[in-house]
Amino acid sequence: MKTKTYDVQIEAIVTKTIRVNAIDEDAAYDLAHEIFTVTRDDHEERYEQHTLNIFEVGDEEGGNVMSKEAYADSLEHWAKCFRDGTLDDSFANEIAYLLEDKAHDLRVEDRHALSNKLITNALKRGDIK
């Protein structure tokens, strides 16, 4: 069986506790951020990871092959992130609404395209006069 090539998008959250010596909390904050790295080091670390999307990589123009349904699913994922507070913004609800609206439009267009194709095929066959 021939294998396919996929790009898998993974969102990862790395949590580390970095002990620093500093004159105050602000200096400790600055120093810890300067030291922080995502490479393995002697600091204890914890990982959380989530698959965001999987794209089949096609030969056409070397780009990604992604269905409208997968795109709509991805938009709804990000809308959920804004709604549940995973992503924070002063316009989070408005952004979530726009993402959900676009996902809905993509799905409706698919249904209309399928309906139009079925009608066109029926007309070509002579089923509809």
Q: Are residues 71 and 118 in the same domain?
A: yes
Domain closes at, from 25, 44, 65: 65
Per-position pLDDT tens, the chain of length 129: 777 777 777 777 778 788 889 898 888 888 888 888 777 667 666 677 777 777 676 654 444 456 777 888 888 999 988 888 888 888 888 998 888 888 888 777 655 666 666 677 667 767 666
Q: CA torsion 9→15→18→24, rounded to 10°?
A: 110
Q: How far apart are the first and last CA of the chain?
A: 46
Domain closes at, from 44, 65, 86: 65
Contact 108, 69 (CB under 8 A): no
The answer for residues whose C-beta is within 8 angstroms of residue 69's C-beta and 6 or more apart is 106, 107, 110
* Total domains in the fold of the chain: 2
Domain closes at, from 23, 46, 65: 65
Q: Are residues 19 and 33 in the same domain?
A: yes
Q: Are residues 71 and 20 in the same domain?
A: no
Neighbours of 66 (CB within 10 A): 16
What SS3 string covers 50-111? EEEEEEEECCHHHCEECCHHHHHHHHHHHHHHHHCCCCCCCCHHHHHHHHHHHHHHHHHHHH
Residues 47 and 6: their CA atoms lie apart, in Å, by 23
Q: Are residues 49 and 72 in the same domain?
A: no
Range of the domain at 116: 67-129
Q: Are residues 54 and 71 in the same domain?
A: no
Q: Are residues 71 and 83 in the same domain?
A: yes
Q: What is the pLDDT of residue 62?
A: 45
Q: What is the pLDDT of residue 61?
A: 45
Please classify residue 18 by burial: count the beta carbons closer than 10 Å to its beta carbon, then call 0-12 exposed, 13-18 middle and 19+ buried. middle
Structure token digits, residue 111: 């249904």
